[in-house]
Amino acid sequence: MLKEEIVDKIIKYFKLTDFEAEELYDDIFASIIQGVTEDNIADITNLGEFIVKYSNGKNISSEYTQSYKKTVEFLPVSILEEAINEISFENFGTVESEEVLNQKPVETKEDSENAYIENEEIKEIHDSVSQTSVEDKLNVEDEMNKKREEILHKITTPKEDYKPIVNVPEAKVENTSEESVEELTQKSFSDYFKEINDEQKVTQENATKTTIIPKSESVIPPAAVELHKEITEDNGKNKAYQSGVSTSRITNGNGRGDDYEKRAGDNSYYIWYKDSEPNIADTQTMSYEYELLYQATKEAEYKSKLKIYVTTFILFFSIVLLLLIFSPVFYKVFFTPNGTDNMDQFQEESGSINEETSSENRASLNILKDEGQINNITTENNVTPPTTNGEQSRNQQPQQQVQPEQTKQEPPKQEEQTVQQLRNQTQTQQQRQTEQQAPATQPNNNTNLEGLVKNGLGWLDEKNKVVYIHLENGKYTIQESAWDSDAKASKRVEKLQSLIPGLKGTVVSVDLGPKGIWYRVRLGEFSTIEDARARAMELRKKG
């Protein structure tokens, strides 16, 4: 019975109970009946259509249908008709005799690749069922999974290396060989199929001989495979992607399994176009060209700036040379007010400038000026113009030379002086003359002192850089320095007094005429030059 067979299959393959299987079976046809009654048509794939028809009373075959107004007509599907009549496209070339046709239809296995996957699976199921009892224990799902794998194998493998699972019908080949010679000579429509069959056979034979693994080059470029390896970092895997597919574990019917991810990883093909690879030569040339362009631009910029650099350098160099060459002239012009050849003035100015700039004060002695141009004001603020210590030695010789000149210049400059100043001058001159003339009257210490040089003011001590002045009262005083301002001189006095307690300092102002008023710092009054010298020594030691 058909029902029993189908129910048994349902129980085996789908693990259902007898009751459930029978219910299923009955429900199928019940639902078909329901569909026909409701819609007047029921279309079932691979079977046909059940259509309601109003009976005319003519084509009624059965007796009970005569009483009904409506009947049901069945229109089978072409596939079913072909299956029944065995008139498929592939079998079109075979010529069957009447005896063969009258015989019961024999099961023949179709050789079409375009058959439904379901049909193949069903056939395989049937084949598996007809096998030994061991296979009955197999799970339906396992079988389904196997079939699914095979189908995937078909899909993944290219057609050249495809090894069909379905057995090749060899009977047809044999039948063709048994045909008569006439058929071979006269190319009938069936001969074409023979050729095709031969080709298929050849390809199959080649496939069996050669390995299933296809050439990766034809399918995937090697660069893509290598890139895929680098990405996945699986060097142990084979290059052939099919091997991974074929050796993968059985998966479920839904396609899930442990190897699903791996398969996805293996089968994740990268569309890699060879032209998209960066050509190394192109990159090198591009970089070299870029470098050339960069260098050229830099050179152009440098050349444009080079002129500027050269001109500026030349200008500065020329300026420096001019300054060096004409430096004394500039100095005279800018730093000497009158521009006279008086070295004393020059020295005084330099000394004054130096004292202005330097923190420490240096005394300047200008003995010749004192003689010629001194307008001693009998106040406590009489001062001598300062000069540097280094220039004192220079001052000596020119001062002596200038003395007579200054004396000549004195009378016209002394017009503005008071009578007391004139007297003082004469007195000082007389004192100096007496000092020069009668050095013997003076103590022997004055003339015989080493390191002392007599000048217009008094005795010049080069070592201590002071001048010992012989005062009117017969005592000696130390003239330490001369300043152009009273404040500076007084400050100097305070400083020196702080160094040596008990030492009295005075500031004497002197009008030197064109040079201005100078303030001379004088310290103490000593009976002898030796005492003054000793005190000067102390001063220099301390400060």
DSSP, collapsed to helix, strand or coil, labels residue 477 as strand
Nearest to 154 by CA among 193, 109, 192, 121: 121
Q: What are phi and psi of 338, to 5 degrees?
A: -95, -25
Span near another protein by CB under 8 A; candidates 20-28, 498-506, 509-517, 526-534: 20-28
User: Which of 315, 370, 355 has its CA nearest to residue 515?
Assistant: 370
Q: What is the 3-state secondary structure (H, E, C) of 16-83?
A: CCHHHHHHHHHHHHHHHHHHHHHHCEEEECCCEEEEEEECCCCCCCCCHHHHCCEEEEEEECHHHHHH
Q: Is 527 in the site for another protein (CB under 8 A)?
A: no
Q: In Å, how far from its chain's centre is CA 37? A: 79
Is 516 one of the binding residues for another protein (CB under 8 A)? no
Question: Interaction with another protein in 338-377: which residues (CB under 8 A)?
Answer: none
Closest CB to another protein among residues 46, 397: 46
Stretch that binds another protein, among 39-47, 229-237, 347-355, 454-462 (CB under 8 A): 39-47
Dist. CA 65–CA 63, nearest whole Å: 5
**Of 18, 33, 158, 261, which lies in the binding site for another protein, with binding defined by CB under 8 A?**
33
Contacting range for another protein; rule: CB under 8 A; set: 34-42, 255-263, 307-315, 412-420: 34-42
223 is a site residue for another protein (CB under 8 A)? no
Closest approach, Cβ 125 to another protein, in A, equals 8
- What 3-state DSSP class applies to 490? helix
Instruction: Measure the CA–CA gap between 316 and 501, rounded to whole angstroms.
Output: 56
Site for another protein in 93-112 (CB under 8 A): 95, 98, 101, 104-105, 107
Distance between CA 508 and CA 383 in Å, rounded?
A: 4
Q: Does 52 bind another protein (CB under 8 A)?
A: yes
Does 32 contact another protein by CB under 8 A? Answer: yes
State which residue, 189 or 334, has the beta carbon closest to another protein. 189
**Shortest CB 196 distance to another protein, Å:** 18
Among 222, 253, 514, 543, binds another protein (CB under 8 A): 253
Please identify, using beta-carbon distances, which residue of 35 and 516 lies nearer to another protein: 35
Q: Which is nearer to another protein, 11 or 500 (by Cβ)?
A: 11
Query: Which CB atom, from 85 or from 211, has the smaller least distance to another protein?
Result: 85
**Whole-angstrom distance, CA of residue 318 vs CA of residue 246:** 91
Per-residue burial over 208-243, b if 16 or more Cβ lie within 10 Å, else e, is eeeeeebebeebbbeebbeebeeeeeeeeeeebbbe
The nearer residue to another protein, 52 or 227, going by C-beta atoms, is 52
Q: For another protein, what does the binding mask look like between residues 158 and 197, x meaning CB under 8 A?
A: ----------------------------x-xx--------
Nearest CB to another protein, comparing residues 73 and 226? 73
Distance in Å, CB of 80 to another protein, minimum: 6
46 contributes a contact to another protein by CB under 8 A? yes
Which of 86, 525 has the CB closer to another protein? 86
Please tell me whether residue 4 binds another protein under the rule CB under 8 A: no
Q: Least distance in Å: CB of 246 to another protein? A: 25
Phi, psi of 159 (to 5 degrees): -70, -25
Task: Determine, following the binding rule CB under 8 A, whether residue 26 of this chain makes contact with another protein.
Answer: yes
Write out the H or E segment, with its range, that includes residue 468: strand 466-470
Q: What is the DSSP letter of 535?
A: H
Which CB sits closer to another protein, 83 or 503?
83
Residues 6+ apart with CB under 8 A from 383: 482, 483, 489, 507, 508, 509, 510, 517, 518, 519, 520, 521
CA dist., res. 177 & res. 184, Å (int): 9
Return the residue of 11, 17, 18, 41 that touches another protein, per CB under 8 A.
41
Member of 88, 91, 119, 251 binding another protein (CB under 8 A): 119
- d(CA 507, CA 488) in angstroms, rounded, equals 10
* Helices within 210-342 (DSSP H only): 216-219, 222-232, 241-246, 260-266, 280-325, 327-335
Judged by CB under 8 A, the residue of 17, 18, 68, 514 near another protein is: 68
Which residue number, 126 or 305, has a Cβ lying nearer to another protein? 126
Contact pick of 11, 76, 259, 439 for another protein (by CB under 8 A):
76
Does residue 74 bind another protein (CB under 8 A)?
yes
* Strands of 70-76's sheet in order across: 41-44, 48-54, 70-76
DSSP calls for 86-145? T--SGGGG----HHHHHSPPPP-----TTS-HHHHHHHHHHHHHHS-HHHHTS-HHHHHH
> Is there binding between residue 88 and another protein (CB under 8 A)?
no
- Based on the shown chain and the rule CB under 8 A, indicate whether residue 19 belongs to the binding site for another protein: no
Of 18, 84, 103, 201, the residue at the interface with another protein (CB under 8 A) is 84
Residue closer to another protein (CB basis): 29 or 89:
29
Alpha-carbon separation of residue 233 from 74, 370, 486 (angstroms): 61, 105, 96
Phi, psi at residue 134, to the nearest 5°?
A: -60, -40
Could you list the residues that contact another protein (CB under 8 A)?
2-3, 5-6, 9-10, 13-14, 20, 23-39, 41-48, 50, 52, 61-62, 64-65, 68-74, 76, 80-81, 83-85, 87, 95, 98, 101, 104-105, 107, 118-119, 122-123, 125-126, 186, 188-189, 253
